[in-house]
Structure 1
């Protein structure tokens, strides 16, 4: 008897890119996509809170000793509020460059999780566009996007719509953030940090987060992450955020595996009972 052959599933290969339905990430053709403006409109209700956060970040950069040029350059190139706020006091204290970079890297590790999830949405794009897509990503944009499009599409038209929607949302975020940061750098002497406007950005993020808590697993993940982040507050380099992500993901994956295995066992038992 010949040996049995095993058929292995081929990896999913995305369809070729349609230049009409899927314009480049940064192109004038993207502005003609209705989904681009839909994504922009979805973000606009939240821009005021993020702009307040950006304004105070700009003030903090100037008050930490950065020159006008350095503050503007950091605003336009770094585009990472948490990383900027983590780096500013270290720069002011004269910390080594590697310490500043390590702190910024640690507080932004959550974007590794975001990018891993977004990979299937952008795997058909050229490398340079994927890098740009990742650079423009933000916390709120990510949450809004996965709410609007829970699953990636292989169909070119819908795939192009998803990309356009995300770019519209992130472009609006970039403009709001950079404008507010630039204004903060320019008016730093007239706007005291004691106003605490940066807390408005935190409230905006919390508002979006609460809107996603539509099942018990997400509520558990959020509660775990928040609890661990508070308990591990004294860890250096904001590593409490990394600990929160690791614990929350590990526990939820274990629970999900247990639930799926139990469901599979129950299904097998029912099948055996019917025989």
Structure 2
């Protein structure tokens, strides 16, 4: 059972929490900056606390906050949050085989706690799903250890920012410091040509469309990057993979 006492006692759960530690400081800086941004955007203390605990999506929060502060229509806020979180559709499709054996409510929790860093660390450690119960249990335990650590870190740092926002004047440049922290975490994830291409595309389109109102340039950048990378995934890259597998199979059958 996910988050059961037996889960907490597993070595894989503790290992997942330890493997998260190298990125702890960067995520904490991001969360602190997000908490301050929520208060400075006009959210009340209750709204800031609820957004921290329930939304749990840093990029979506940061995309939505300036739109809320600017009085943008609700559909624009929702569209921006949806677009910046489109990557989790890809993540969940990949993680399906790792969590398909779990009951529905536990799969929902598995997905809710998912984060960018946790996903990258997980697939680097466990590139393939397995069918044996012990292997499945180890993977779920490791992932939950990593994601629970991330959730606690995010909530504590974000709530600290909400509660202490009045002590962090904008002149301190906290937003820029948080941006640098996020940039460092993001660069650490660029470990494939596809991810580098997506980052360059999103950034380039966002800059070229900077004149769009309500920060819709961010939405445009995300949509273009996701659309092109998905198209490549299902055309060029899939064809290359099939050709490589065919060559490997041919070599195996050679006398």
| TM-score for both structures, normalised by structure 1 | 0.81
- 1:258 Cα shift? 3.6
Among 25, 43, 55, the alignment partner of 2:2 is: 25
Structure with the higher helix share, 1 or 2:
2
Matches within 5 A, 1:1-275: 24-193=1-170, 194-195=173-174, 196-199=176-179, 200-207=181-188, 209-210=189-190, 213=191, 218-219=192-193, 221-233=194-206, 234=209, 236=216, 238-260=219-241, 262-263=243-244
RMSD: 2.3
Q: 1:120 to 1:184 in 2, by over 3 A?
A: same
Asked if the contact 1:107–1:239 (Cα under 8 Å) also holds between the matched residues in 2, the reply is no
Q: Which runs of 5+ in 2 are unaligned?
A: none
Aligned to 1:11: none
| TM-score for both structures, normalised by structure 2 | 0.87
- 1:188 Cα shift? 0.4
Structure with larger Rg: 1
Q: Which runs of 5+ in 1 are unaligned?
A: 1-23
Asked if the contact 1:51–1:201 (Cα under 8 Å) also holds between the matched residues in 2, the reply is no
